Structure 1
Amino acid sequence: MKKKISITIDEKTLGDIDTIIDYIYIRNRSQAIEHLVRNSLGDNKTAVILAGGSSKKLKLTKDEYKLTAKVGKTRPIDLGLKKLHQNGFKEIFLVGEREMLSRVFEVVGDGTSYGVKISYIEENNSRGTADSLKLLRGKITKTFLVVYGDIIFKSINIEKLWEDHIKLNSVATLMLTTSPEPSKKGIVKMEGNSVLEFIQKPKRSDIYVGFSSMFVAEPEIFDYSGTSLEMEIFPKLTKNELLKGHLSSEKEIHINKIEDLRNIS
């Protein structure tokens, strides 16, 4: 939700602001000022690690979860927190069931050693990804990043995704990559940066651009009804032209078995 305000700016500064108006992504002074303010706040961004659902399904080994399993000296949670910190994310929310959250806390604590602050958000009866995310309603009041808890994203250019979201003026902007197996992902039909259609794991598809388990969103996303992001909320956003996409040549790594953690450090 946007609010109208009145501000006083000296003439020279106003002239400098006008120089960044390109009439494509930044079409007026209001958007230019908003763009500059968001960039100035860029080193204090918020991210959500969404690891909801049954803790048992997130187990990778008998004793470890997908986030905490260790190969050599590295765990996915270590890589994730370091990557987020490098990209200016200082406030991290981790959503999941108590058992999994307790194990992550044993490994990384409150995040101080990574230069971030982690808030652990316990879920009990989540019916889907949207239910899990909505636990943060009221806790997040600005643009934020969402990363699913079963991926390694060390090669993804988060900054480019974030910048595209700011320019495109959407409720959510999805990280997209090409996939040889579209039936294993949510696939999207695109026109420019706009997502025209989002279909979760279709049985068959001739579209090979898929959702890569990461997106940037505005707090307005909490206002949309539905228990699943992929099955309900993303499709609703497409109907209102409020879902955009950022296509990346770099791909995430999905953690399904211990072998997926090899060579990740």
Structure 2
Amino acid sequence: MKAIILCAGYGTRMQPYTEKYQKTMLPIQGKPILEYLLEALIYAGFTEFILVVGYLKNQIIEHFQDGNNWGIKIEYVEQKNLNGTGGALLLCESMIYDEHFFLTWGDILVPYEIYRKVYQTFKNDNEDFILVTNYLENLQKGCAIFCNDKYCIKMVEKPPPNIKGTNLNNCGIFILSTEIFDVLREITPSERGELEIPDAISYGIETRDWRVRLIKMKKDQFRADFGDINVYEELKNKKEWIRDLKKQN
């Protein structure tokens, strides 16, 4: 199974750091964020990667090259038009040969064990779609996930402040069926003019009876969103979080 990492964006919320660095290449304890993510996915069992690059793409390509130094294979695709996560994913369609693939945002890090659990759940339970959630007190800046036991029934991107019934947020970590490519061609862009993967998943649940299995992170489990400048500034000079990242539960 190939693992796709989206790392093309400008990182405008991370300025001034991203005037010099691609967001996923921001250094922490001597290594870029993206390297920690790759190490986590290698630990989970992935060996073939597609990196969707764009802004300051050469920083990523020159650092990781073909992946041989990590014992993996890396391919690259450039997203010249930053038209959303769905637009980025469509660029990878011709590079996917299996019926399923792994996908994650490049600026999110969770414990290594979560990535392994996602892959093992797919292999053991034969699920077509898997989505990781994390607990979020204020869902207005996230994507609310409503569920029925172990499965997602609804996703609401940046919900209104009075939303009730859930504190589950889309963590940005998935296993998806290649069916999603057809759905991405059917849906319309969001209000931001972008093709959004959560919109495609919601559409699939509503119109194609997709069963989207949830992997729910615990409320106190480590999660770093490096789209938030405060998170980066808090963690860049600390070592303790790396222990949390590699902790085996």
Q: Establish whether TM, by shorter chain, passes 0.5.
A: yes
Report Cα offsets for 1:207-265 as digits up to 9, x if no partner.
Answer: 201110111112221121332112x2021122123322111223421012241442344
- For residues 30-49 of structure 1, what are the structure 2 equivalents within 5 Å? 45-49=1-5
CA distance in 2 between counterparts of 1:101 and 1:115 reads 21
Q: 1:208 aligns with which of 141, 144, 167?
A: 167
- For residues 121-160 of structure 1, what are the structure 2 equivalents within 5 Å? 121-142=77-98, 143-160=100-117
Amino acid at match of 2:225: H
Amino acid at match of 2:176: A
Report Cα offsets for 1:123-178 as digits up to 9, x if no partner.
Answer: 11242111110111121122221110111234452122223334555442110121
Q: 2:204 aligns with which of 213, 219, 237?
A: 237
3-state SS in 2 of match to 1:138: helix
Q: How many residues align?
A: 219
CA pair 174-233 structure 1, distance change in 2 beyond 3 A: same
1:7 match = none
Structure 1 gaps of 5+ residues are 1-44
CA pair 123-243 structure 1, distance change in 2 beyond 3 A: same
CA distance in 1 between counterparts of 2:12 and 2:147 reads 36
Higher RCO, 1 vs 2 (CA within 8 Å, ≥6 residues apart): 2
1:223 match = 182
Larger radius of gyration: 1
Structure 2 gaps of 5+ residues are 188-194, 243-249
CA distance in 2 between counterparts of 1:107 and 1:156 reads 25
CA pair 219-51 structure 1, distance change in 2 beyond 3 A: same
* Fraction of identical pairs, as percent: 20
Amino acid at match of 1:87: A
Give 1:197 deviation, angstroms: 0.8
CA pair 153-57 structure 1, distance change in 2 beyond 3 A: same
1:37 match = none
Amino acid at match of 2:103: V
Q: Does 1:68 align with 2:25?
A: yes
CA distance in 1 between counterparts of 2:159 and 2:21 reads 31
CA contact (8 A) 1:111 1:117 kept: yes
What TM-score does the superposition give when structure 2 sets the normalisation length?
A: 0.79
- The CA RMSD measured in Å over matched residues stands at 2.1
1:103 match = 59
